[in-house]
Protein backbone atom coordinates (compact mmCIF):
# COMPACT_ATOMS: atom_id res chain seq x y z
CA UNK A 1 0.00 0.00 0.00
CA UNK A 2 1.32 3.46 -0.88
CA UNK A 3 1.98 5.86 1.96
CA UNK A 4 1.46 8.89 -0.32
CA UNK A 5 -0.30 11.70 1.57
CA UNK A 6 -4.01 11.85 0.91
CA UNK A 7 -4.47 15.34 2.35
CA UNK A 8 -4.27 17.62 -0.74
CA UNK A 9 -3.13 20.59 1.36
CA UNK A 10 -0.19 18.54 2.66
CA UNK A 11 0.53 17.02 -0.75
CA UNK A 12 0.70 20.48 -2.34
CA UNK A 13 3.42 21.67 0.03
CA UNK A 14 5.38 18.42 0.10
CA UNK A 15 5.54 18.58 -3.69
CA UNK A 16 8.74 20.14 -4.94
CA UNK A 17 10.99 21.78 -2.40
CA UNK A 18 9.85 25.07 -0.89
CA UNK A 19 13.28 25.53 0.72
CA UNK A 20 14.52 26.65 -2.72
CA UNK A 21 12.01 29.52 -2.72
CA UNK A 22 12.56 30.28 0.97
CA UNK A 23 16.26 30.88 0.24
CA UNK A 24 15.18 34.00 -1.63
CA UNK A 25 13.12 35.28 1.35
CA UNK A 26 15.64 35.10 4.22
CA UNK A 27 16.48 38.81 4.51
CA UNK A 28 12.85 39.86 4.73
CA UNK A 29 12.20 37.15 7.33
CA UNK A 30 15.00 38.51 9.49
CA UNK A 31 13.83 42.10 9.08
CA UNK A 32 10.29 41.19 10.07
CA UNK A 33 11.40 39.39 13.23
CA UNK A 34 13.62 42.35 14.19
CA UNK A 35 10.70 44.66 13.59
CA UNK A 36 8.46 42.55 15.86
CA UNK A 37 11.04 42.97 18.61
CA UNK A 38 11.08 39.26 19.45
CA UNK A 39 13.22 38.96 22.55
CA UNK A 40 15.08 36.52 24.78
CA UNK A 41 12.90 34.10 26.71
CA UNK A 42 9.69 34.71 24.77
CA UNK A 43 7.80 31.65 23.58
CA UNK A 44 7.11 31.85 19.87
CA UNK A 45 5.08 29.61 17.58
CA UNK A 46 5.91 29.94 13.89
CA UNK A 47 2.90 28.42 12.16
CA UNK A 48 3.26 27.25 8.57
CA UNK A 49 6.93 27.88 9.21
CA UNK A 50 8.43 26.19 6.14
CA UNK A 51 12.13 25.61 6.84
CA UNK A 52 12.27 28.43 9.37
CA UNK A 53 12.68 31.72 7.51
CA UNK A 54 11.16 33.48 10.52
CA UNK A 55 11.64 30.76 13.17
CA UNK A 56 15.43 30.80 13.01
CA UNK A 57 15.84 34.59 13.32
CA UNK A 58 13.45 34.52 16.31
CA UNK A 59 15.56 31.79 17.94
CA UNK A 60 18.78 33.69 17.22
CA UNK A 61 17.28 36.50 19.29
CA UNK A 62 16.91 34.10 22.23
CA UNK A 63 13.24 33.19 21.96
CA UNK A 64 12.09 29.61 22.53
CA UNK A 65 10.67 28.75 19.17
CA UNK A 66 8.45 25.96 17.91
CA UNK A 67 7.91 25.75 14.16
CA UNK A 68 4.82 23.86 13.03
CA UNK A 69 4.20 22.95 9.42
CA UNK A 70 2.06 20.45 7.57
CA UNK A 71 4.88 19.41 5.21
CA UNK A 72 7.17 16.75 6.69
CA UNK A 73 10.03 17.59 4.29
CA UNK A 74 9.99 21.23 5.46
CA UNK A 75 9.85 20.21 9.14
CA UNK A 76 12.92 18.04 8.55
CA UNK A 77 14.68 20.87 6.70
CA UNK A 78 13.91 23.30 9.54
CA UNK A 79 15.27 20.92 12.16
CA UNK A 80 18.44 20.46 10.09
CA UNK A 81 18.92 24.23 9.80
CA UNK A 82 18.39 24.79 13.54
CA UNK A 83 20.78 21.96 14.38
CA UNK A 84 23.47 23.21 12.03
CA UNK A 85 23.33 26.60 13.77
CA UNK A 86 23.35 24.99 17.20
CA UNK A 87 19.96 26.54 18.04
CA UNK A 88 18.74 24.17 20.76
CA UNK A 89 15.93 26.67 21.48
CA UNK A 90 14.33 26.05 18.06
CA UNK A 91 12.54 22.89 16.99
CA UNK A 92 10.09 21.96 14.29
CA UNK A 93 7.21 19.50 14.27
CA UNK A 94 4.43 18.48 11.94
CA UNK A 95 0.98 19.89 12.51
CA UNK A 96 -2.05 21.38 10.79
CA UNK A 97 -2.95 25.02 11.45
CA UNK A 98 -6.63 24.04 11.25
CA UNK A 99 -6.25 21.68 14.21
CA UNK A 100 -3.29 22.20 16.54
CA UNK A 101 -4.33 19.33 18.81
CA UNK A 102 -0.75 18.69 19.98
CA UNK A 103 -0.50 22.20 21.47
CA UNK A 104 -1.96 23.29 24.80
CA UNK A 105 -4.05 26.42 25.34
CA UNK A 106 -2.21 29.67 26.23
CA UNK A 107 1.24 28.29 25.29
CA UNK A 108 2.85 31.15 23.36
CA UNK A 109 3.64 34.83 23.81
CA UNK A 110 3.70 35.33 20.06
CA UNK A 111 2.22 33.31 17.22
CA UNK A 112 3.72 34.27 13.87
CA UNK A 113 2.39 32.99 10.59
CA UNK A 114 3.97 34.47 7.50
CA UNK A 115 2.25 33.24 4.34
CA UNK A 116 1.66 30.02 6.32
CA UNK A 117 -1.69 29.63 8.07
CA UNK A 118 -3.35 31.46 5.16
CA UNK A 119 -2.84 28.26 3.14
CA UNK A 120 -4.64 25.98 5.60
CA UNK A 121 -8.24 25.00 4.91
CA UNK A 122 -11.01 25.99 7.35
CA UNK A 123 -9.99 29.60 8.03
CA UNK A 124 -12.37 30.00 10.97
CA UNK A 125 -10.77 27.00 12.68
CA UNK A 126 -7.34 28.44 11.92
CA UNK A 127 -8.20 31.75 13.63
CA UNK A 128 -9.60 29.87 16.65
CA UNK A 129 -6.53 27.70 16.94
CA UNK A 130 -4.11 30.62 16.71
CA UNK A 131 -6.01 32.48 19.44
CA UNK A 132 -6.38 29.37 21.61
CA UNK A 133 -2.64 28.65 21.78
CA UNK A 134 -1.73 32.30 22.42
CA UNK A 135 -1.57 33.29 26.06
CA UNK A 136 -3.78 36.17 27.29
CA UNK A 137 -2.05 39.50 26.40
CA UNK A 138 -0.04 37.69 23.73
CA UNK A 139 0.04 38.57 20.03
CA UNK A 140 -0.79 36.87 16.76
CA UNK A 141 0.99 38.23 13.67
CA UNK A 142 0.00 37.07 10.21
CA UNK A 143 1.48 37.93 6.84
CA UNK A 144 -1.07 37.37 4.09
CA UNK A 145 -0.83 37.91 0.34
CA UNK A 146 -3.47 40.28 -1.00
CA UNK A 147 -5.86 39.28 -3.80
CA UNK A 148 -5.55 41.39 -6.98
CA UNK A 149 -2.49 43.16 -5.63
CA UNK A 150 -0.28 44.18 -8.55
CA UNK A 151 2.94 42.75 -7.04
CA UNK A 152 4.61 39.38 -7.56
CA UNK A 153 2.84 36.69 -5.58
CA UNK A 154 -0.77 37.75 -6.18
CA UNK A 155 0.06 38.04 -9.87
CA UNK A 156 1.72 34.59 -10.02
CA UNK A 157 -1.42 33.12 -8.47
CA UNK A 158 -3.71 35.12 -10.78
CA UNK A 159 -1.83 34.08 -13.92
CA UNK A 160 -1.52 30.46 -12.76
CA UNK A 161 -5.23 30.15 -12.02
CA UNK A 162 -6.05 30.98 -15.64
CA UNK A 163 -4.16 27.80 -16.66
CA UNK A 164 -5.52 25.58 -13.88
CA UNK A 165 -8.78 23.69 -13.48
CA UNK A 166 -11.37 25.39 -11.26
CA UNK A 167 -10.90 24.56 -7.57
CA UNK A 168 -13.20 21.96 -5.99
CA UNK A 169 -16.60 23.14 -4.80
CA UNK A 170 -16.45 24.75 -1.38
CA UNK A 171 -12.74 25.61 -1.69
CA UNK A 172 -11.94 28.87 0.11
CA UNK A 173 -9.08 30.71 -1.55
CA UNK A 174 -6.09 31.38 0.73
CA UNK A 175 -6.05 34.88 -0.74
CA UNK A 176 -9.25 35.68 1.17
CA UNK A 177 -6.94 36.12 4.21
CA UNK A 178 -5.63 39.23 2.44
CA UNK A 179 -9.02 40.98 2.80
CA UNK A 180 -9.43 42.92 6.05
CA UNK A 181 -13.17 42.18 6.45
CA UNK A 182 -12.53 38.44 6.24
CA UNK A 183 -9.76 38.66 8.82
CA UNK A 184 -12.04 40.61 11.18
CA UNK A 185 -14.86 38.09 10.72
CA UNK A 186 -12.58 35.09 11.29
CA UNK A 187 -11.04 36.50 14.48
CA UNK A 188 -14.49 37.61 15.68
CA UNK A 189 -15.41 33.93 15.42
CA UNK A 190 -12.47 33.27 17.76
CA UNK A 191 -13.75 35.86 20.23
CA UNK A 192 -11.43 38.74 19.29
CA UNK A 193 -13.13 42.11 18.76
CA UNK A 194 -12.27 44.25 15.75
CA UNK A 195 -10.53 46.96 17.80
CA UNK A 196 -7.86 44.46 18.80
CA UNK A 197 -6.84 43.87 15.18
CA UNK A 198 -4.42 46.17 13.34
CA UNK A 199 -3.61 46.11 9.65
CA UNK A 200 -0.73 47.50 7.65
CA UNK A 201 0.78 47.02 4.21
CA UNK A 202 4.29 45.60 4.36
CA UNK A 203 6.83 44.30 1.85
CA UNK A 204 8.75 41.05 1.43
CA UNK A 205 11.55 41.13 -1.10
CA UNK A 206 12.50 38.03 -3.07
CA UNK A 207 16.25 38.14 -3.73
CA UNK A 208 18.43 35.74 -5.63
CA UNK A 209 21.58 35.70 -7.71
CA UNK A 210 21.02 35.63 -11.46
CA UNK A 211 18.35 36.99 -13.77
CA UNK A 212 14.60 37.03 -12.98
CA UNK A 213 14.23 33.96 -15.23
CA UNK A 214 16.32 32.02 -12.73
CA UNK A 215 13.98 32.91 -9.88
CA UNK A 216 11.07 31.88 -12.10
CA UNK A 217 12.84 28.58 -12.83
CA UNK A 218 12.96 27.95 -9.08
CA UNK A 219 9.20 28.53 -8.83
CA UNK A 220 8.56 26.29 -11.84
CA UNK A 221 10.74 23.48 -10.49
CA UNK A 222 10.18 23.67 -6.73
CA UNK A 223 7.03 25.64 -5.78
CA UNK A 224 4.01 23.28 -5.55
CA UNK A 225 1.35 25.74 -6.75
CA UNK A 226 3.45 26.80 -9.77
CA UNK A 227 4.41 23.18 -10.52
CA UNK A 228 0.71 22.31 -10.58
CA UNK A 229 -0.06 25.24 -12.88
CA UNK A 230 2.63 24.10 -15.35
CA UNK A 231 1.28 20.54 -15.23
CA UNK A 232 -2.23 21.81 -15.96
CA UNK A 233 -0.91 24.06 -18.76
CA UNK A 234 1.06 21.15 -20.26
CA UNK A 235 -2.10 19.06 -20.43
CA UNK A 236 -3.45 21.65 -22.90
CA UNK A 237 -0.16 22.32 -24.70
CA UNK A 238 0.05 25.78 -23.09
CA UNK A 239 3.28 25.50 -21.05
CA UNK A 240 5.09 28.00 -23.28
CA UNK A 241 2.29 30.56 -22.87
CA UNK A 242 2.40 30.26 -19.08
CA UNK A 243 6.20 30.52 -19.11
CA UNK A 244 6.02 33.64 -21.29
CA UNK A 245 3.42 35.34 -19.08
CA UNK A 246 5.35 34.59 -15.91
CA UNK A 247 8.67 35.64 -17.45
CA UNK A 248 7.16 38.98 -18.44
CA UNK A 249 5.84 39.38 -14.88
CA UNK A 250 9.16 38.53 -13.18
CA UNK A 251 11.09 40.85 -15.53
CA UNK A 252 8.65 43.72 -15.04
CA UNK A 253 8.75 43.38 -11.24
CA UNK A 254 12.53 43.10 -10.91
CA UNK A 255 13.88 46.17 -9.12
CA UNK A 256 17.55 45.14 -9.22
CA UNK A 257 19.94 47.41 -11.11
CA UNK A 258 22.39 44.56 -11.57
CA UNK A 259 22.32 41.98 -14.39
CA UNK A 260 23.40 39.18 -12.09
CA UNK A 261 20.95 39.69 -9.24
CA UNK A 262 17.19 39.74 -8.92
CA UNK A 263 15.25 41.67 -6.32
CA UNK A 264 11.45 41.65 -6.42
CA UNK A 265 9.44 43.41 -3.71
CA UNK A 266 5.99 42.02 -2.97
CA UNK A 267 3.29 43.68 -0.89
CA UNK A 268 1.43 41.79 1.83
CA UNK A 269 -1.15 42.49 4.52
CA UNK A 270 0.38 42.41 7.97
CA UNK A 271 -2.22 41.56 10.60
CA UNK A 272 -1.52 42.08 14.30
CA UNK A 273 -3.99 40.68 16.78
CA UNK A 274 -3.83 41.55 20.48
CA UNK A 275 -5.19 38.48 22.26
Out of 15, 16, 18, 207, the residue judged to bind ligand SAM by CB under 6 A: 18
The alpha carbon torsion through 112, 115, 117, 118 (nearest 10 deg) reads: 140
Smallest distance from the beta carbon of 195 to ligand SAM, in angstroms? Answer: 27
Q: CA of 76: how far to CAs of 48, 67, 196, in Å?
A: 13, 11, 35
Question: Please, which residue, 74 or 273, has the CB nearer to ligand SAM?
Answer: 74
Least distance (Å) from ligand SAM to the CB of residue 122?
Answer: 9
Task: Give 98 or 164: the residue with its C-beta nearer to ligand SAM.
Answer: 98
> To the nearest whole angstrom, how small is the minimum distance from the Cβ of residue 70 to ligand SAM?
4
114 lines the binding site for ligand SAM (CB under 6 A) = yes
Cβ atoms of 23 and 209 closer than 8 Å = no
Q: Nearer to ligand SAM by C-beta: 27 or 214?
A: 27
Quickly list H helices, 37-151.
Answer: 55-60, 72-84, 123-133
Site for ligand SAM in 55-94 (CB under 6 A): 69-71, 74
Separation of alpha carbons 145 and 259, rounded Å: 28
Does the protein bind ligand SAM through residue 48 (CB under 6 A)?
yes
CA 181 to chain centre: 20
* CB of residue 194 to ligand SAM, shortest distance in Å: 25
Question: What backbone phi and psi angles, to 5 degrees, belong to 228?
Answer: -65, -40
First-to-final CA distance of the chain:
45
Q: Toward ligand SAM, which CB reaches closer, 49 or 183?
A: 49
DSSP code of residue 171 = P
Residues found near ligand SAM in the complex (CB under 6 A): 9, 13, 18, 22, 25, 29, 48-50, 53-54, 69-71, 74, 96-98, 114-116, 119-120
Amino acid sequence: MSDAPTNPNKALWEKGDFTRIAESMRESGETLIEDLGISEGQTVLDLGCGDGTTALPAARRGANVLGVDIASNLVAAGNRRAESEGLSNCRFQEGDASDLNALADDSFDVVVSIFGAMFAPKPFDVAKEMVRVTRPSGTVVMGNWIPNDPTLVAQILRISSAYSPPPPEGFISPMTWGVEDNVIERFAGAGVPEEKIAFERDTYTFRCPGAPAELLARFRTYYGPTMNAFEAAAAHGREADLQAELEALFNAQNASQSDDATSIPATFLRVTVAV
